[in-house]
Amino acid sequence: MPARRPPRPSTRRDARPKPAPGARRKVAAAVAVAVAVGLILGVSALAGRVARDRDRPRRLRDRAEAATRAGDWPTALDSWRALDRLGGGDARSCLAEARAALALDRGADAGRALLRATEADPTAVEAWRGRLDRLRVLDRPFEAARVGFDALGTVAPGGRRAILSSLTLALLAELPDDQARDRLDRWIAADPDDLDARAARLARVAANPRPGDPDRASRIAELSRLLDRDPGHVPTREALTVALADDGDPGRGRAVLGAWPPDSRDARFDRLRARWDLDYDARPDRAASGYRRALVDLPHDWKAHYGLARALRAVGRDAEARGEADAVSRLRERLDPAALGPRLAADLARLDDPRAPADLAALCAGAGLARLADAWAREARPDPAAIDR
């Protein structure tokens, strides 16, 4: 039997002496310690990030308040916006954001912030007043009435007079043309995409033209561009319809009027539809109905009363037509700014005197604003709780 060859020495790399059991335990322990340390550091870092994120709204609010106190309006506006995006905003911060936006002449941004403020806190009197004041600049009394009466239904009794004051001014005292133009011009310069301001500016030019203002063709072209950009913007559609009627283009005006969004057909639509029925479509009966619907929401609109008088005369209802003509004369006299302005200013400056709310109630009643008159009349009555004290 041949002799076996002796085995050759192993040349494999892993053929090394195995570590002793104690050494293996030390290595395992070191690995475990390293893993634990890594986990602790990771958890600590995560906790730090969570704490910083939790603290961020407070830091943003502190920054926004400091910027507001310093009058640093760009920083204030950015900080209030960032706070709102984080979900840390409330009615107070939305109102502060609106003030910063107005300080920067960003009227549309202010309007959005004021809306959020009243949604967050329906009792926020100053936010409601801000919305009413903005609508007065834009000359939108129909919307002001809706907003004002919404506010009266939600604010505390102590805030009612402030709301009534702003609502009365928005409905009865149109802002002087110089002041309104200046404010609108600044809003447009700060934000050329402010559609509300641009439509209001063009409507104001149409109502009170001055040398150097854009002519009607230019206004129609711009309003057409604005409406193409946002077909649902009612003030633009209203201003364009009026401009086309004044330009003697009832066909195109009818098309613009006919495309009015159905869910936005309010007193403004009824008033314009009645104008077309009366002046272009030979339907005075339908025009009379349209003007009456418009006057439900705008009872102090002397132009609607005038249109109604013409429509009633056209259908042979002369006595009613004379009544509406008398209403036109009465309203124009009572709403004459030369007499109305001083009277409003005097009453609003002394609301603690019961005679002032009573006079405002009489003034509103004379203008046909029965709901507003009733609200002022309630303010004129003595407070039973105060008498008991």
CATH number at residue 140: 1.25.40.10
In the prediction, which pLDDT does 141 show?
Answer: 93
Q: What is the DSSP string of 227-258?
A: HHH-TT-HHHHHHHHHHHHHTT-HHHHHHHHH
Task: Pick the last residue of a domain from 172, 199, 230.
Answer: 172
Query: What is the C-alpha to C-alpha distance for residues 107 and 188, in angstroms, rounded to an integer?
Result: 8
- Is 103 domain-assigned? yes
Q: Same domain, yes or no, for 323 and 353?
A: no
Q: Mark whether 293 and 377 lie in a shared domain.
A: no
Task: Look at residue 388 and tell me whether its pLDDT is greater than 50.
Answer: no
Averaged pLDDT for residues 278-296: 96
Could you tell me if 59 and 161 lie in one domain? yes
Say whether both 270 and 159 belong to one domain. Answer: no
Same domain, 76 and 123: yes
In-domain check, residue 12 = no
What tokens appear for 93 in the block?
Answer: 């911060």
pLDDT above 80: residue 27: no
Return the structure tokens found at 177: 């043309």
At residue 35, does pLDDT exceed 70? Answer: no
What total of structural domains would you count in the chain? 3
| pLDDT at residue 302 tops 60 | yes
61 lies in the same domain as 164: yes
- Which of the two residues, 253 and 389, has the higher pLDDT score? 253
62 with 147, same domain: the answer is yes
On the question of pLDDT at 236 being above 80, the answer is: yes
- Considering the domain architecture, whether residues 61 and 168 belong to the same structural domain is answered as yes
Say which DSSP state 19 is in: P
Tell me which of 51 and 205 has the higher pLDDT.
Answer: 205
Q: Look over the chain and give the mean of its residue pLDDT values, rounded to a whole number.
A: 88
- Tokens (6 digits) for 12: 């494999």
Same domain (yes/no): 290, 364 = no
Statement: residue 20 has pLDDT above 90: no
Does residue 323 fall inside a structural domain? yes
Name the percent of the chain lying above pLDDT 70.
Answer: 84
Return all residues near 89 (Cβ < 8 A) that are at least 6 apart. 80, 83, 97, 116, 120
Residue 352 inside a domain? The answer is yes
User: What burial letters (b/e) apply to 349-360, b meaning 16+ CB within 10 Å?
Assistant: eebeeeebbbbb
Counting residues of the chain whose pLDDT is more than 90, the rounded percentage is 79
Does residue 163 share a domain with residue 274?
Answer: no
pLDDT tens digits along 176-219: 999 999 999 999 999 999 999 999 999 999 999 999 999 999 99
Task: With cut-offs at 50, 70 and 90, classify the pLDDT of residue 57.
Answer: confident
Amino acid 271: pLDDT: 96
Q: Which residue, 153, 172, 191, sits at the end of a domain?
A: 172
Q: Domain ends where: 172, 198, 233?
A: 172
Asked if residue 281 and residue 303 are part of one domain, the reply reads yes
Residues 300, 369 within the same domain? no
- What's the domain range around 358? 340-388
pLDDT tens for 126-180 read 999 999 999 999 999 999 999 999 999 999 999 999 999 999 999 999 899 999 9
